[in-house]
């Protein structure tokens, strides 16, 4: 009887299939996907291009509908975008004609909120993310890393309970990416928001996650879910440890077995 209470599920997906109809036969983008994101958990989806990562996020964001199976957010099936969701994409989709402050405030307008009620919070977020003094600049005046920080502030403005992030650091140089990994870990540790994070970097997935969900293509599916039992907070040097290396090697093996990656020179 009893035992530790189960963490409530933020996202629960069972037997999910997604098919895109096409003239020359239907395309199975996702097949038999089971996925669980616990409240306050950090989970990465890791897989090659075309395995359906973005499609899965779009389904969770209520932007597409599932073909079959079940998908629940906070215990409810979706009939549109779920409440309390923040999103960050690889391309930051900031609006060039608006200031950084006004970009951060965009979700407030979409939600029909009062701008004035959120200006202080927006400014505070920009300070926290190293963008103090850039409030009135425009996106084209910022570096890629700064733009992505602004996109994170925008995702946080309505204080979402969960975040979905689609390769948010994929277009950044390696050092900026490292820096943003550290910042994201800090954000997660201080707020305990549930995060579903998409990447195709093995190191990034292992570094950030409680669990890494490894996917393969044709059809897009989950091949294994790996719990990352490394102490937190993690610093970048953890990537040079033996235990980190074992997780990475295991995932590389999985990719090799599923024809995603050839790891040996021929």
Which residues bind to ligand ADP, rule: CB under 6 A? 20, 27, 29, 47, 49-55, 220
Closest CA to 155 of 193, 206, 116, 200: 193
Regarding 209 and contact with Mg ion (CB under 5 A), the answer is no
Nearest approach in angstroms of CB 223 to ligand ADP is: 13
Quick note: the x/- pattern for Mg ion over 17-56, rule CB under 5 A, is ------------------------------------xx--
Nearer to ligand ADP, 145 or 220 (CB): 220
Closest separation in Å from C-beta 57 to Mg ion: 8
Of the two residues 57 and 172, which places its CB atom closer to ligand ADP in the complex?
A: 57
**Residue placing its CB nearer to ligand ADP in the complex, 27 or 97:** 27
For the bound state, the minimum distance from the C-beta of residue 94 to Mg ion, rounded and expressed in Å, comes to: 19
Q: Is 265 exposed, middle or buried (0-12, 13-18, 19+ CB in 10 A)?
A: exposed
Q: Indicate the residue among 191 and 201 with the shorter CB distance to Mg ion.
A: 201
Q: Which residue is nearest to Mg ion (CB)?
A: 54
Q: Considering the complex, what minimum distance in angstroms separates the CB of residue 51 from ligand ADP?
A: 4
Residue 27 contact partner, candidates ligand ADP, Mg ion, none, CB within 5 to 8 A by sort of partner: ligand ADP
Smallest gap from residue 64 Cβ to ligand ADP (A): 7
Query: Smallest gap, in angstroms, from Cβ of residue 47 to ligand ADP?
Result: 6
Binding site for Mg ion (CB under 5 A): 53-54
């Amino acid at each position: 009887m009893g035992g530790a209470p189960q963490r409530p599920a933020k996202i629960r997906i069972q037997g999910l299939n997604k098919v895109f109809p096409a003239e020359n036969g239907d395309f199975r983008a996702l097949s038999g996907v089971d996925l669980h994101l616990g409240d306050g958990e950090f989970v990465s989806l890791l897989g090659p291009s075309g395995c359906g990562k973005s499609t899965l996020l779009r389904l969770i964001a209520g932007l597409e509908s599932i073909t079959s199976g079940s998908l629940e957010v906070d215990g409810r099936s979706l009939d549109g975008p779920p409440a309390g969701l923040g999103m960050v994409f690889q391309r930051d989709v900031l609006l060039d004609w608006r200031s950084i402050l006004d970009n951060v405030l965009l979700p407030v307008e979409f939600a029909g909120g009062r701008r004035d009620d959120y200006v202080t919070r927006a400014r505070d977020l920009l300070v926290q993310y190293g963008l103090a003094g850039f409030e009135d600049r425009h996106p084209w005046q910022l570096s890629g890393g700064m733009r992505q920080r602004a996109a994170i502030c925008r995702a946080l403005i309505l204080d979402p309970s969960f975040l979905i992030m689609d390769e948010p650091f994929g277009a950044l140089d390696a050092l900026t990416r490292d820096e943003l990994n550290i910042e994201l870990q800090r954000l997660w540790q201080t707020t305990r928001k549930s995060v579903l994070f998409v990447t195709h970097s093995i190191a990034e997935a292992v570094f950030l996650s409680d669990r890494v969900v490894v996917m393969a293509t044709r059809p897009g599916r989950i091949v294994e879910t790996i719990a990352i039992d490394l102490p937190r907070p993690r610093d970048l040097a953890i990537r040079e440890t033996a235990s980190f290396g074992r997780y990475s090697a295991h995932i590389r093996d999985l990719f090799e077995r599923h024809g995603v990656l050839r790891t040996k020179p021929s």
